[in-house]
Amino acid sequence: MNSFFARKFVIQGIFVTIAIIIAIRLFYIQVIDKSYLLSANNNVLRKVVVYPARGVVYDRNGKVLVQNEPVYDLLVTPIEAKEIDTALLCQLIDIDLEGFQTRIKKARSHSPYRPSIFEKQLSATTYAQLQEHLYKFRGFYVQNRTVRSYPDSIAPQLLGYIQEVNDKDIERSEGFYRPGDYIGASGIERSYEELLRGQRGVKNQMVDALNRPKGSFMDGQYDTLAVAGEGLVSTIDRDLQVLAEKLMKNKMGSVVAIEPATGEILTFVSAPSYDPNMMVGRQRGNNYMKLLRDETRPMFIRPIQASYPPGSVFKVVAALTAQQAGVIDEKTIFYCPGGYRYGGGRAIMRCTHVDGATSLVKSIQTSCNTYYGYTYARMIDSRGMSAPKAYDLWRAALGKFGLGRTLGIDLPGEKPGLIPTSDFYTKRYGNDKWRSGFNISLSIGQGEMGITPLQMANIMAIVANRGFYYRPHLVKAIGEKGIVKDEFKEKISAGVDAKYYEPVIEGMSRAVNIPGGTGYRVRVPGIEMCGKTGTAQNPHGENHAVFFAFAPRENPKIAIAVFVENAGYGGTWAGPIVNMLVEKYLKDTISLPQYIQDRIFNANFLPELQEKEEQQVSARTSHGEKPVGRSASEISATEPRRELYVHHSQLRKEHP
């Protein structure tokens, strides 16, 4: 004991003070501050998203059109990915070192602490090799998901494709999608996205500091199951679609077939086409660019986005609207001297034949231009009102047939086509004193008129139904319950009474079934098919071949429109295609002589590369349009009215 004995109290005091400080601090972080408990759960719990299988799409007979295939996404949490064998990883997933660095950099810029996708869609074999070594790659793990697969490689434009969501999609979905998710980007993948995508599940997994799974949290009490997307039954007939695509190989154009009684689309071909499997997997980016650059524009959905002057097939609508308007009737006869003179006789719209006295039925059967010249003149000039007013009335009647407006198909990107308003002509001619002679080519489906192949097929469905149609659609039933959308059950009138259809149908029947008819060569044995050829005049190259038909005449099962660009005469090229498809669909055989079949299968109407200029115009609606379906609909709303480069004088070239 010495003089400094009292200092023992100071030392003891310090010891006690420090112990109290530690105790207070412990009390704070353990009892008061709950954030550490939360962080602890964040540490151990990894919410693993369980991706639902996307809905499968079947054809109308239950055959699979789109299914799912498992793939594996490799994810990385950059902050944890340290001191790994980079070379081995690169080798396993087949990327180079540079690619590794850029991927890591990208992931880090997304978030150093959260997992981002490092490499997408590894195949099952790659995954199997990687899995053995995965424990060596700290911070990397694999997430299972599925991609689309198309067993028959058909119908890419209508089935559409899925792609990773972009920022806009995420914003629009109010947080439903997260980066790395997939969303339907075109076709029915897009229009039925909400049904196909299903419901994501969440698995609460416990992980250790190295991100290795350590079992499920609380025996999965808080897990939610993934709910698979609804299956869709498409209206498409797979076999018919396969045949139609084969027939349209190496051609540009469209095939649309509709079941008139329901509006169900049986076949929907946009040619040239591509293999939908190209839009899946790791080569997707390259393939996508390739398709974008392709001059024949395979991603352009021609049946709903391309519009053409329909040619003679339009006479069917002209005949129907004229009857309904009362300007002609079944008994009306016009004399055809081989052409229609108008503008005080200074101009002529020629006919292919000299038909002489022509009745309504015969006018359809022989496709008499003169008859429709007179009809149009009566329609516009002789209704006791000004021409523009009469024209607008007529235009409204066309609208009832679905022309100049969208039909509302369940596919994004549908175009309305074009029927100009009276203002268009008033503006063009400087005043409203214009007469039928000023746009007489409209009477025979030429001139400033644009109609999509879908609208053409729908006209046939209307005729087949004698006056009404159902909205053409591609999905006939949703999910296990087979729900049908109400809007597809609604009968829509075309505004022309049923009685007016008979002469037109008679004419169409004769055109196909009477020797000398424009479509006689493509009649279907044993079936009374009603059809109409057309040759849509194309000022920039070979004319477009058009044929449309429905069959059988009574109780029709199929209404079809075929459009082959740059193929020339409609009866020669489009007709046989219709013939084969109709017979295949109704009788499941093809009786057309083999040599004609071969001629069609082997024909190549794809433009040579140097014809680039012409080919772009041939699609007519192509200007400034993105081929990606999803944006097309937005464009159509603001689409400027285009000048169509047709002059009456060129009509003479039609049938020299």
Partner 1 sequence: MREKSFFGRIDWLTILLWFILCLIGWFNIYAAVYDPEQPSIFSMETNYGKQSIYIFTALVIGFSILIIDAKFFISASPLIYIVVILLLILVLVIGRNVGGNQAWIPLGSFRLQPSEFGKLATCLLLASYLSTQTNKNPNIKTLFIGALIVLLPVALVMLQPDTGSALAFFALIFVFYREGYVGNTLLLLGGLAILLFISALLVNQWIIISILALVTGLLIYSIRKKRKYIINVGILFLACSVYVLCVDYAYEHILQSHQRNRIDVILGKIHDPRGEGYNLNQSKIAIGSGQLFGKGFLQGTQTKYKFVPEQSTDFIFCTIGEEWGFVGSIVLIGIYLTLLLRLVHIAERQRTAFARIYAYGVASILFFHFFINIGMTIGIVPVIGIPLPFISYGGSSLWSFTILLFILLCLDSGRKGLNG
Chain positions contacting partner 1, by CB under 8 A: 1-5, 7-8, 10-12, 14-16, 18-19, 21-23, 25-27, 29-31, 33, 35-37, 39-41, 43-44, 79, 112-113, 206-210, 214-215
Type of residue at 468: F
Q: Which residues contact 23 (CB under 8 A, 6 or more apart)?
A: none
Shorter beta-carbon distance to partner 1: residue 30 or 101: 30
Distance separating alpha carbons of residues 226 and 233, to the nearest angstrom:
22
Instruction: Kindly tell me the sign of the dihedral angle through the C-alpha atoms of 329, 335, 341, 343.
Output: negative
Report, in Å, the least distance between residue 112 CB and partner 1. Answer: 7
The closest of 495, 509, 462 to 361, measured between CA atoms, is 509
- Shortest Å, Cβ 204 to partner 1: 13
Which is nearest to 48 in space by CA: 210, 225, 197, 229? 225
Q: Which is nearer to partner 1, 82 or 481 (CB)?
A: 82
Q: Which is nearer to partner 1, 79 or 483 (CB)?
A: 79
| Nearest Cα residue to 162 out of 142, 177, 144 | 177
Shortest distance, CB of residue 40 to partner 1, whole angstroms?
3
Q: In the bound complex, what is the minimum distance in angstroms from residue 3's beta carbon to partner 1?
A: 7
Task: Please give the Cα distance from 83 to 86 (Å, whole number).
Answer: 8
Instruction: Give the residue with the Cβ less far from partner 1, 19 or 396.
Output: 19
Residues 582 and 257: their CA atoms lie apart, in Å, by: 9
359-370 in b/e form (b: 16+ CB < 10 A) is: bbbbbbbbbbbb
Tell the smallest beta-carbon distance from residue 222 to partner 1 (Å): 15
Q: How far is CA 351 from CA 44, 311, 356, 553, 566, in A?
A: 83, 13, 11, 28, 21
Q: Reduced to 3 states, what is the DSSP secondary structure of residue 555? A: coil
Instruction: Report the nearest approach of partner 1 to the CB of residue 139 (Å).
Output: 12
Nearer to partner 1, 118 or 217 (CB): 217
Rounded to a whole number of angstroms, the minimum distance from the CB of residue 223 to partner 1 is 18
Q: Which H or E element spans position 491?
A: strand 491-493
Output 5 or 595, the one with its CB closest to partner 1: 5
CB of 114 to partner 1, least distance (A): 11
Nearest to 242 by CA among 272, 210, 267: 267
Cβ-contact 404, 309 below 8 angstroms: no
Q: Which is nearer to partner 1, 7 or 47 (CB)?
A: 7
| Closer residue to partner 1 (CB): 111 or 166 | 111
Tell me which H or E stretch contains 613.
Answer: helix 612-618
Angle between helix axes 387-400 and 314-325 (nearest 10 degrees) is 120
User: What residues does 530 pair with on adjacent strands?
Assistant: 550
The CA distance from 300 to 272, in Å, is 9
Provide the 8-state DSSP code for 30: I
In the complex, the smallest distance separating the C-beta of residue 133 from partner 1, rounded to whole angstroms, is: 21
β partners of residue 8: none
Distance from C-alpha of 156 to C-alpha of 288, rounded to nearest angstrom:
13
Report whether 45 contacts 37 (CB < 8 A).
no
205 vs 324, beta carbon nearer partner 1: 205
Whole-number minimum distance, CB 37 to partner 1, in Å?
5
Residue 23 or 292 with smaller CB distance to partner 1: 23
206 vs 527 by CB, closer to partner 1: 206
Least distance in angstroms from the C-beta of 144 to partner 1: 22
